[in-house]
Chain A
Amino acid sequence: MTLTATRFDWVRQLVHRESAIVLAPGKEYLVEARLLPVARKMGLTDVDQLVDQVRTRPRPDDTRQIVEALTTNETSWFRDGDPFTALTSTVLPALQSARGPAERLQIWSAACSSGQEPYTIAMLLEDAMPHAATRVSITATDLSREMVERTRAGRFTQLEVNRGLPAPMLVRHFQRAGSEWEVSPTLRRMVGARECNLAAPLPRMGPFDVVYLRNVLIYFDLPTKQAILRRVRELMRPDGWLFLGAAETTLGVDDSWSRVVVGRTSVYRPLKGA
């Protein structure tokens, strides 16, 4: 049984709007396979019912589940590549020349999921600067306690380390732990994980030099987006750098940021006096 063209099209537009990912025609079976567990979890029997329900009564939580199931974003290392290239090519050198040698760099991975993003950042910095472990601290936050605990544990399944993690980095920074892989103690010491709801007042953290806030804003309405960006900005250094998801921008949402194009990605910086 396959999805009707109308329903597939609705899913396609939703995913494109919220993640900038293009679902090619002919991927109906994939949509079925990925969304069936979501439908079942919601007590529905099939994907048709799921699509119809979310289409008539959209709730951000359901929408997010659909997009996440289809984009498998949480499981990939170096997701989208460019924001990480920009970190080592441009952001890090700029920060190193602006900060004293004794100043600790503070980086925030907001919505860290199971930990791939904060550990990707940790690996890059460990490889790019001497003694990174004592000069950088990475704060990883997520709404879900389960994800925070997974990040803290730093353990990944075989299937997870297969997803976009370059093999040389795997052998350099991980060891086998039973059937799983565990990040090195050095990297684990660089990353601190805690629960945090971005849509509520934020805990006292930072100030951050770099913030990765990717694929979060898309799930919220305009006023919430604006509130999140304002709160994030309050926790950033005035010359800090903000990375958003490929489908996200501050343009038209919050005009207190300037956009800087670095390579194939955009980075946002607080506007002075804004």
Chain B
Amino acid sequence: MTVRALVIDDSRAMRRIVSGTLEGFGYETRQAGHGQEALDVLHEGWVPDLCTIDWNMPVMDGLQFVNAVRANPAWRPVTLMMVTSESEHGQIVRALAAGAHEYVIKPFTADAIRDKLALLGLLPQEVSL
């Protein structure tokens, strides 16, 4: 079983880090620089198991993207995980209320991503460290 992830972040360094981490866990990944670009990927028919979503991005931010994905029943199976430096209590509540399943605060380590994927049942391999 291949698990697919769409990594959405306006920083290409961050996209490389998150994608590389997920690939290390056996994921197939694609990247998008903002919410609209990510929506285009979904519309194209590449619907992933997981989206990792930055909050502050140009064109369409992460919260708008979450709202857009949740508005489309066809994309209900997609797991949405915020990965952002927005770290106030109220911001996390907003993202969860909009339909995000999990929330990783930047800065994070690869271990933090792995732990969250394990919680979500999205860790494809027996990964130990």
Which listed residue, A22, A158, A162, A167, touches B126 by the CB 8 Å rule?
A22
Q: In whole angstroms, what is the CA distance A76 to B118 when docked?
A: 12
- Cβ < 8 Å to B, chain A residues 21-60: 21-24, 27, 30
CB atoms of B129 and A164 under 8 A apart: no
A159 at interface, CB cutoff 8 A = yes
- Nearest chain A CB to B54's CB is how many angstroms away? 15
Which listed residue, A23, A27, A76, A158, touches B107 by the CB 8 Å rule?
A158
Q: In whole angstroms, what is the CA distance A81 to B107 when docked?
A: 24
Instruction: Identify whether the interface residues of B are mostly helix, strand, loop, or mixed.
Output: mixed
Chain A residues with CB under 8 A of B105: 158, 161-162
Chain A residues with CB under 8 A of B93: 171
CB atoms of B115 and A163 under 8 A apart: yes
The chain A residue sitting closest to B95, CB to CB, is A167
Chain B residues with CB under 8 A of A174: 89
Chain B residues with CB under 8 A of A21: 128-129
B27 at interface, CB cutoff 8 A = no
Q: Number of B residues contacting the other chain (C-beta, 8 Å)?
A: 25
Chain B residues with CB under 8 A of A186: none
Which listed residue, B89, B96, B108, touches A162 by the CB 8 Å rule?
B108
CB atoms of B102 and A166 under 8 A apart: yes
- Chain A 185-211, CB within 8 Å of chain B: the 1/0 string? 000000000000000000000000000
A70 at interface, CB cutoff 8 A = yes
B88 at interface, CB cutoff 8 A = yes
- Nearest chain B CB to A180's CB is how many angstroms away? 11
Q: In whole angstroms, what is the CA distance A77 to B115 when docked?
A: 9
Q: In whole angstroms, what is the CA distance A158 to B88 when docked?
A: 11
CB atoms of B115 and A164 under 8 A apart: yes
A176 at interface, CB cutoff 8 A = yes
Which listed residue, A27, A72, A171, A176, touches B111 by the CB 8 Å rule?
A72
List chain A positions with a Cβ less than 8 A from chain B. 21-24, 27, 30, 70, 72, 75-78, 81, 158-159, 161-164, 166-168, 170-171, 174-176
List chain B positions with a Cβ less than 8 A from chain A. 87-89, 92-93, 96, 100-105, 107-109, 111-112, 115-116, 118-119, 126-129
